[in-house]
Amino acid sequence: MILGISSSGRKNGITSSTVKEILKASNLEYDYISLAGKKINGCIGCLQCASDNVCKLQDDWNEIGEKMLKADAIVFGAPIYSGTINALGHACLERTFCFRHREVFKLAGKLAVSVSTDYAQSVENPVHSIIESVMSKNLVPIVGKVSAKGFSQCYTCGYGENCAVGNVVKDHGFIEKIEHCHYPPSYEQQANTKFEARKVGKILGTIISNK
């Protein structure tokens, strides 16, 4: 079983579509979780997990952690918020601390794929490296990465046409009215993202099914 996680605050955003595309392309049984609306605390460093590798904080993460343990691979997708991985995504990854104590690495032997979504497509986007760094602490290698072009909230906030600090004016100048043709590309319009997602999903599926 492959577990897909989208950590975006938007249930049906671009991260979610990209993760789902990878899951489907794997041709394997999968489970999918959106972190939208979930309550996930960051690790509090209580170390109550040191003796048994079980996190004692009780919130929406515990069930996700159980699913991670059951999966052969984890497809983890996160958007960039304020120049870094979004807080929900980081909290979810942080809590895997419980899985590695006393030379026990409960996620070791699994594989992972990293998905990052950002509007600016900045070369300084750290999301892939944060996902990879946490996975590597868990001894989980990343076998593929997919980068998607994100949405910009400035197109639907209601003030985009006139906001001199927003992305609409930055990309199109002061326009009369925001039309659909001004929007950043939807997931469906991103042929290259879809192609990369299918490729990575297919490779992941082949690796897992030949294990």
List interacting residues with ligand FMN (CB under 6 A): 8, 10, 13-16, 79-83, 117-120, 150-151, 153
When the beta carbons of 76 and 81 are compared against ligand FMN, the nearer one is 81
The set of residues, in sequence order, having a beta carbon less than 8 Å from that of 27 and lying 6+ positions away, is: 202, 205, 209
Q: Which amino acid is at 169?
A: V
Token pair 């906030």 in the structure block, residue: 157
Q: Which uninterrupted H or E stretch holds 111?
A: strand 111-118
When the beta carbons of 8 and 26 are compared against ligand FMN, the nearer one is 8
Minimum gap (Å) between residue 151 Cβ and ligand FMN: 4
Minimum gap (Å) between residue 128 Cβ and ligand FMN: 13
When the beta carbons of 6 and 138 are compared against ligand FMN, the nearer one is 6
Minimum gap (Å) between residue 184 Cβ and ligand FMN: 8
When the beta carbons of 28 and 36 are compared against ligand FMN, the nearer one is 36
Minimum gap (Å) between residue 96 Cβ and ligand FMN: 21
Minimum gap (Å) between residue 195 Cβ and ligand FMN: 18
HEC assignment per residue over 12-66: CCHHHHHHHHHHHHCCCCEEEEECCCCCCCCCCCCCCCCCCCCCCCCCCHHHHHH
When the beta carbons of 99 and 151 are compared against ligand FMN, the nearer one is 151
HSE value, Cβ hemisphere, 13 Å, CA-based, for 194: 7
Ranges of H-type helices in the chain: 14-25, 61-70, 87-94, 127-137, 167-172, 191-209
